[in-house]
Amino acid sequence: MRPEREQPGRPTSRKHISRMPQIETYPIGDVARRTGLAVSAIRYYSDEGLVKTASVGQGRRRNYDLLAIAQLEFIGTLRELSTPMTEIRRLIAGVTNLRDVLIAHLTVVERRELELRGRRAALRALSRLDDPADLMHRFVGTPDAERERLADDLAADTGVPRPRLPDDPTAAQLEAWIELTRLARRREFRAAVRNLSVEANSGRESRREVIGKLLAAHHSGLPADSPHARRLAAGLAQEDTNVPPERPESDVAAYRRLISLLGAPPAGNRVSVEYDLTGFRDWLTVALTPRPLDRGTGSATRTAKI
């Protein structure tokens, strides 16, 4: 094998392999401007072993690499959130490479953003009220971070979608958020919601879904005495027969009511929907009425609740 010929301006393979990679570093003054930390604070975190000094230049000026800068920015965020130093040490010690530091920092920032969005939404709702004192008393009883954690726990424990306070809520939606997170503390409430989630995933249509299909059929002009309309109406009647009536404001009823409130249009974007329910009731009555051929089968006419 021929030895590699050295080309002008290009090192040979042997020289290239023996050369150590250069790590770019930044002087402490530049790091202070980037992170927003004082030079004295950066020195303190270095002396405490939270970040490593990459090198020391002339005049004993310290230089830092990208990992140290990412760690210092993470520390700055944690200090802004009044995180105790013992917790900062634990978090910094758990991430040893640049990517892990960035991911950990992102997690903290996104969590804080979620809390601030919830606080902004609550302030919007409260500021619209002439007398917000009563609702604010109920709201300030639980910290924002704890409400978000309760919503997380409810979703994780039951399998339902995570509830959220809308960005521009009404006072009723804020009340629903306060009540839902209060109920989420109770083990019995979470168990009831968990059972509801299991039933929803069993493939069985809910009463709301059946009514939605009936409304769509009526709106499309489908005749009430058509086979499809009669099948849908029979399904609604069967649903009313099989499902036992819920106690007033049982845990399941409360959950459904609160989730329905939180999913309503925002305060600044109310949509008015008009529908001829009188016509729909007449249409449904016809769909539920047995045909002459059905009367001999012993089936009775049922009246479904709308």
Task: Report the CATH number at residue 36.
Answer: 1.10.1660.10
Q: Which of 199, 230, 256 is the last residue of a domain?
A: 199
Q: Are residues 127 and 191 in the same domain?
A: yes
Sheet holding 55-56, edge to edge: 26-27, 62-64, 55-56
Q: Are residue 134 and residue 187 in the same domain, yes or no?
A: yes
Q: Are residues 181 and 208 in the same domain?
A: no
Are residues 207 and 291 located together in one domain of the fold? Answer: yes
- The mean pLDDT value for 98-121 works out to 93
DSSP 205: P
Torsion of CA 187, 192, 194, 196, to 10 degrees: -170
Using pLDDT thresholds of 50, 70 and 90, give the confidence band for residue 270: very low
Residues 39 and 53 in one domain: yes
Regarding whether 291 and 210 lie in a shared domain, the answer is yes
pLDDT band at 282, cuts 50/70/90?
Answer: confident
Residue ranges making up the domain that contains 58? 26-96
Q: Which residues contact 57 (CB under 8 A, 6 or more apart)?
A: 27, 63
pLDDT of 179 > 80? The answer is yes
Q: Does 61 map to a domain?
A: yes
List beta partners, residue 26. 64
Among 157, 73, 169, smallest CA distance to 117 is for 169
Q: Domain check: are 92 and 129 in the same one?
A: no
| Confidence bin at 291 (pLDDT 50/70/90) | low
194 and 147 part of one domain: yes
Query: Which one has a higher pLDDT value, 84 or 285?
Result: 84
- Of 199, 218, 237, which marks where a domain is finished? 199
Mean pLDDT of 46-67: 91
117 falls within a domain: no
The verdict on residue 139 lying in a domain is: yes
Q: Does 213 share its domain with 172?
A: no
Tell me which of 96, 114, 135 is where a domain ends: 96
pTM: 0.58
Express as a percent the part of the chain with pLDDT over 70: 75
Mean pLDDT across the stretch 79-104?
Answer: 93
pLDDT interval class at 12 (50, 70, 90): very low
247-267 mean pLDDT: 75
Same domain, 172 and 240: no
147, part of any domain: yes
Q: Is residue 106 part of a domain?
A: no
Decide if 286 is inside a domain: yes
The reply to whether 34 falls in a domain is yes
Q: What is the percentage of the chain residues whose pLDDT exceeds 90?
A: 47
Question: How many domains would you assign to the chain?
Answer: 3
* Nearest residue to 256 (alpha-carbon basis) of 171, 199, 214: 199
C-beta of residue 83 within 8 angstroms of C-beta of residue 117: no
- Averaged pLDDT, 199-204: 53
pLDDT grade, residue 159 (50/70/90)?
confident
- Kindly report the number of other CB atoms within 10 A of residue 234's CB atom: 17
Confidence band for 200, pLDDT divided at 50, 70 and 90? low
Residues 279, 215 share a domain = yes
pLDDT for the residue 7: 47
